[in-house]
Amino acid sequence: MSKFKVGDIIEGTVIAIRKFGAIMIFDNEQKGLLHISEVANAYIRNISRYLVIGKTYQVKILSIEDDGFLKVSMAKISQEEKDAYRNTSLKRTPVDSENIDFTALKEKLDEWVK
């Protein structure tokens, strides 16, 4: 089902941010979770300070569920892996605006306007 394998470094685009992490979509329309604990090697209180909806990030695949859902990490990518990936891949994953979830924005908009 998946063209990816555990340990691959791939690019994914954030389509939703939740308190527990970010939902990402990848170039073959697979989705995955970047858990808040996998964003950085430090405690993160507010994931929105680190990630932006619609932006593409490099992640490492930690596991692939039976249904193809990916669990990924930014924190577990070594500098050598980042450099090697950058040198071999220059493509970006386009985001279909229908896949972007604005629920979090809608929930906070009235509060921010006040």
DSSP the chain: --S--TT-EEEEEEEEEETTEEEEEETTS-EEEEEGGGS-SS--S-GGGT--TT-EEEEEEEEE-TTS-EEEESTT--HHHHHHHHHH--------GGG---HHHHHHHHHHH-
The reported pLDDT for the residue numbered 94 is: 67
Structure tokens at 112: 């921010």
State pLDDT tens for residues 50-94.
999 999 999 999 999 999 899 999 999 877 777 776 666 555 566
State mean pLDDT over 5-25: 94
Structure tokens at 35: 């858990």
In the block, residue with structure tokens 């619609």 = 54
pTM: 0.69
Domain ranges of the chain: 9-107
From the options 3.40.50.970, 2.40.50.140, 2.60.40.10, 1.10.260.40, give the CATH code of 9-107: 2.40.50.140
The reported pLDDT for the residue numbered 16 is: 95
Residues 6+ apart with CB under 8 A from 55: 13, 14
Over 60: is that where the pLDDT of 1 sits? no
Distance CA 20, CA 40 (A): 14
Higher pLDDT, 31 or 80: 31
How, if at all, do strands 31-35 and 70-73 pair?
Answer: parallel
Structure tokens at 83: 């450099």
